[in-house]
């Protein structure tokens, strides 16, 4: 009987040890594979003149386009730029980016006027892979829809991207 | 004998509870692994734009003269002041010129590079900029010269 209890206690000791090791390992792995994405640069359509309805596009590579009555300007402190994001996670992890749907992002001047943002694009084609150090980055561009009588002023808004690890 | 039986029961209970805890631990480890792998993460960025006043703006539309190759030719747009219309160069306008009204060229916008009715439509947008020497209240006039090469 003493032997049986002794063996049972040894079993419990092993189980406790395993639990401790498991928790430690889980904590360790969770730290090593901590996955996150952070915004490192904001999307700016820059400065432009709107004489009638049109669009202003900032592509993921930083180039800018215009159509209709929108005339982009290379002046002012609000320089056009795509948004930049940094991705972190486990080395060599495959990930994909989900961008906002068309016209779900609005920019407002705070005075009741707004513009819709559509056609979000990133410089990633499909999926990408984190580096050996677990780092990655991508940029996001979009197209701004300017109304026919769009009020002048400064417009701001926010948008979110989702990184799905696979 | 009874004491021996109770020991067996205790031993069995210990083993059963150990087994169940092991199962729980395995489930926990599996869940943690799945969460670490599949959880999507999100980040938010700001987006901004500045629209300048469209007025005063002068828009000029001209057409490409016949014989000029639209695909290889270049369009040079000059924004000239009222008293410096004849000046040539990539940027003939500056405030130091003896002009009553200077102008800053905002943008040039060519068409899609194809000939339309024998010409290429070019739109020019410019805004007058009043200089110190120009009397306030006088009309601002900007002459836009479009040169085709």
pLDDT recorded at residue B30: 58
B4, B50, B57 ranked by CB distance to A1: nearest = B4
Nearest to A73 among B42, B46, B107 (CB): B107
Name chain B contacts of A117, Cβ cutoff 8 Å.
Answer: 47
**Helices marked H in chain A:** 2-32
Q: How many A-B residue pairs are in contact by the CB < 8 A criterion?
A: 171
Query: Cβ of B47 under 8 Å from any chain A Cβ?
Result: yes
User: With bands split at pLDDT 50, 70 and 90, how would you rate the model's confidence at A72?
Assistant: confident
Backbone angles phi, psi at B93, to 5 degrees: -105, 125
Question: Quick check: A130 contacting B, CB < 8 Å?
Answer: no
Higher pLDDT, A19 or B4: B4
pLDDT of residue B17: 76
Residue numbers in B near A144 (CB within 8 A): 49
> A81 or B147: which carries more pLDDT confidence?
A81
- Taking all residues of chain A, what is their mean pLDDT, rounded to a whole number? 83
CB-count burial class (<10 Å; 0-12, 13-18, 19+) for A156? middle
Q: In A, which residues are within 8 Å of B44 by CB distance?
A: 39, 158-160
Lowest mean pLDDT among A21-30, A144-153, A156-165, B106-115: B106-115
**Does B1 contact A at CB distance below 8 Å?**
no
Structure tokens at A91: 């080395």
pLDDT digits (tens, 9 = 90+) for B80-115: 433 333 233 333 333 333 333 334 444 444 443 333
Q: Are A150 and A54 in contact (CB under 8 A)?
A: no
Backbone φ and ψ of B33, nearest 5°: -65, -45
Taking an 8 Å cut-off on Cβ atoms, the answer to whether B43 and A160 are in contact is: yes
pLDDT-derived band at B50 (thresholds 50, 70, 90) equals confident
pLDDT in tens, B6-18: 777 777 776 777 7
Structure tokens at B9: 């029961």
Cβ of A8 within 8 Å of Cβ of B38? The answer is no
Our CA-based measurement puts residue B107 at a distance from the nearest CA of chain A, in whole angstroms, of 6
> Residue A144: beta bridge partners?
A56, A117
A40/A36 Cα distance (integer angstroms): 13
Determine the average pLDDT of the residues in A95-116. 95
Residues 6 or more apart whose Cβ sits within 8 Å of residue A117: A100, A103, A105, A106, A107, A142, A143, A144, A145, A157, A159, B47
Phi, psi for residue B100 in degrees, rounded to 5: -70, -40
Domain ranges of chain B: 1-48, 54-149
Highest mean pLDDT of the ranges A44-48, A111-115, B16-20, B142-146: A111-115
ipTM of the assembly?
0.77
pLDDT higher than threshold 90 for residue A126: no
């Amino acid at each position: 009987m003493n032997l049986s209890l002794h063996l049972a206690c040894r079993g419990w000791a092993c189980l406790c040890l395993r639990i401790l090791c498991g928790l430690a390992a889980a904590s360790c792995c969770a730290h090593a594979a901590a996955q996150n994405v952070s915004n490192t640069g904001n999307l700016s359509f820059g400065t432009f003149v709107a004489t009638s309805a049109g669009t202003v596009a900032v592509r993921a590579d930083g180039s800018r386009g215009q159509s209709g009555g929108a005339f982009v300007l290379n002046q002012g402190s609000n320089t056009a730029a795509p948004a930049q994001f940094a991705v972190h996670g486990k080395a060599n992890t495959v990930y994909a980016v989900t961008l906002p749907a068309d016209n779900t992002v609005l920019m407002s001047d705070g005075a009741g006027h707004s513009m819709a943002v559509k056609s979000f694009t990133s410089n990633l084609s499909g999926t990408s892979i984190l580096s050996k150090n677990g780092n990655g980055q991508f940029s996001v561009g979009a197209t701004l829809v300017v109304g026919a009588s769009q009020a002048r002023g400064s417009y701001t808004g926010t948008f979110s991207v989702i990184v799905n690890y696979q | 004998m009874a004491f021996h039986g109770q020991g067996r029961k205790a031993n069995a209970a210990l083993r059963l509870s150990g087994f169940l805890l092991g199962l729980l631990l395995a489930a926990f480890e599996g869940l943690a692994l799945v969460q670490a792998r599949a959880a999507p993460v999100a980040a938010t960025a700001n987006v901004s734009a500045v629209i300048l006043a469209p007025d005063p703006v002068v828009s000029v539309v001209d057409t490409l003269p016949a014989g000029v190759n639209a695909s290889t030719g270049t369009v040079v747009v000059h924004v000239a002041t009222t008293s410096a219309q004849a000046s040539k160069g990539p940027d003939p306008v500056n405030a130091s010129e003896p002009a009553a009204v200077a102008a800053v060229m905002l943008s040039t916008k060519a068409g899609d590079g194809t000939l339309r009715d024998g010409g290429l439509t070019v739109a020019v947008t410019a805004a007058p900029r009043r200089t110190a020497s120009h009397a306030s209240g006088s009309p601002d006039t900007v002459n836009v010269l479009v040169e085709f090469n």
